[in-house]
Amino acid sequence: MTTNPELEVNQETTETTATETEELTGASLGYKEQIEAVIATLAENDSAMFQKNENGHLWRFQYGSVEVFVQLTGEKDEDLLTVWSAIMPFPKQKENELMRQLLEMNGSGTFETKFAIINDQVVLLSQRIVDGLSPSEISRAITLVASIADEYDEKLKSQYG
């Protein structure tokens, strides 16, 4: 398996951000507060928004050229942390070419994130149950989705959009 050298730089940045966030938040804060601490370090132009509904907590913020969403369904072990960003509408042409490229990218350089097609949108996402979730894992999931989505959205739109 090959890796993308550009993403290796992002990997180092992600690890630094995760460590800084863990120092800021500590293990004593709840998941909600830890997520808010990470978003505070990444959100641009005071773009962070929060909403609570029957599906849990939902945050939205701007990072570079993408909008990133973070959902926490609750704080029980079986609840989920989901982070995603819509990259582009799924194109009507070159579908197979795009799907092949996304699968190849999933296998070689998206770390714990993955490209998917949801509701006719190409999205990048990360999802995990909260059982044993650490502050550094929260930071890493949010930072990876934000940075990889921002890295590839314009490239994919120019090729397929």
Q: Please list the pLDDT of the chain residue by residue as tens digits (161 residues).
A: 333 333 333 444 444 454 554 555 445 789 999 999 999 999 999 999 999 999 999 999 999 999 999 999 999 999 999 999 999 999 999 999 999 999 999 999 899 999 999 999 999 999 999 999 999 999 999 999 999 999 999 999 999 98
Residue 152 burial by Cβ neighbours in a 10 Å radius (0-12, 13-18, 19+): buried
> What per-residue confidence (pLDDT) applies to 103?
97
Give me the residues paired with residue 32 across strands.
none
Q: Using N-to-C axis directions, what is the helix angle for 135-160 and 31-42, rounded to 10°? A: 50
> What per-residue confidence (pLDDT) applies to 3?
35
Task: Give me 25's structure tokens.
Answer: 């938040």
> What per-residue confidence (pLDDT) applies to 161?
86
